[in-house]
Structure 1
Amino acid sequence: MTDEVRGRVKWVENMQFVGKMDTDQCAIILGDGGISPMKLLLLSVAGCTAYDVVMILQKMREPIEGLEVEISGERREEHPRIYKKVHLHYKIHGDVSEEKAKRAIELSQDKYCSASAHVKLSGAEVTYSFEIIRD
C-alpha cells in the first residue's frame, strides 16, 4: 500500500493561485502576491531537514533550544530551470555538542530528508554549514 497525498491548486485571478492539501488547514498563495513554486521547494527542503535535526537532537538528549535553517539556491539558466546548487546553513541554539549536531545534520541529509533527496536526484549539489549559538 502506498501513502497517497492529495491537494489542489486553484487559479484565483491574474497569475495568482491558492494551493491547499486535502488534510491540512492552511493554504498558500502561489504566484503574484505569494511565493513562487521554486521558492516553495527550497522552503520545503529547509522545513524537512529542520524537522529531522530537531527530532534527532532531542532523541540524542541534546539541550536544543531553537533552530533556524537558512537556505539559498542557484538555478540553471536553461529550461527547465531546476536548482543546480543548494546551500543550507543551520543555526542551532543551545548547549549542543558540535559532534552530535554534525551527526544529526548528516543523518537528515543522507538518510531522512525526502525533500532534500528529491533535489539531489535532480542533480543539484547540496551543501551545508552550521553554527551553534550558546545563548
Structure 2
Amino acid sequence: MSEEVRGKVEWFRDYQFIGKIESDSCSVILGEGGISPMKLLLLSVAGCTAYDVVMILKKMREPIEGLEVRISGERREEHPKIYKKVHLHYIIRGDVKEEKAKRAIELSQDKYCSASAHVKLSGAELTYSYEIIRSEGMD
C-alpha cells in the first residue's frame, strides 16, 4: 500500500508562503525572505541521499563519524526552469573503506533515494563525487 502525504502552502504576506507537511512538526518559509522551492528541491535531494548513505554505512558496520553532502544545480534558461545538471559531493569522515563508501553512494543513487530519482526522471544529469577524511593518526 502506498503512503499518502498531505501538506499545505499558505500565503503569509507579500511574496512569502509557509509550507507544512501534516505529519511533521516543522514548517518552511518559501519565497522572499525564505528558501525558494527549487533550492528546497536541491536540499531535499541532498538530505535524502545523506540519510541513505549513513544508514547503509552503519548497516555495513563502517565507522562513519560524519557526513556532509554538498549539492549544486544548474537550471535551464527557458521555462519551466528545471534543473539540467545536479552534482553531489559527499564528504565522509571516519575510517570508512573506500569501496564501502562508493557502494553506499551507488545504492543510494541507483536504488533508494527517491528525491534523486525524481530529478533524474526530469531529464537532469545527476553526477557525484566523494572524499573520505580519515581520523587523525590513520593513513
Global fold match (TM > 0.5): yes
1:134 Cα offset (Å) = 1.2
> Counterpart of 1:4?
4
> Counterpart of 1:45?
45
Matches within 5 A, 1:1-135: 1-135=1-135
1:108 Cα offset (Å) = 0.2
1:2 Cα offset (Å) = 2.3
SS at match of 1:4: coil
Show structure 1 runs of 5+ residues with no match: none
| Residues in 1 aligned to 2:82 and 2:29: alpha-carbon distance in whole angstroms | 21
Tell me the TM-score normalised to structure 2 length.
0.96
Task: Report the number of matched residues.
Answer: 135
| Residues in 2 aligned to 1:96 and 1:110: alpha-carbon distance in whole angstroms | 21
1:40 Cα offset (Å) = 0.1
| Residues in 1 aligned to 2:84 and 2:15: alpha-carbon distance in whole angstroms | 26
**Aligned letter for 2:50?**
A
Please give the per-residue CA displacement for 1:17-65, whole angstroms capped at 9, x wherever unaligned.
0000000100000001100000000000000000000000000000000
SS at match of 2:62: coil
**Aligned letter for 2:12?**
V
| Residues in 2 aligned to 1:2 and 1:61: alpha-carbon distance in whole angstroms | 31
What CA RMSD, in Å, does the superposition of the two structures yield over aligned residues? 0.5
| Residues in 1 aligned to 2:26 and 2:3: alpha-carbon distance in whole angstroms | 21
Identity over aligned pairs, percent: 81
Show structure 2 runs of 5+ residues with no match: none
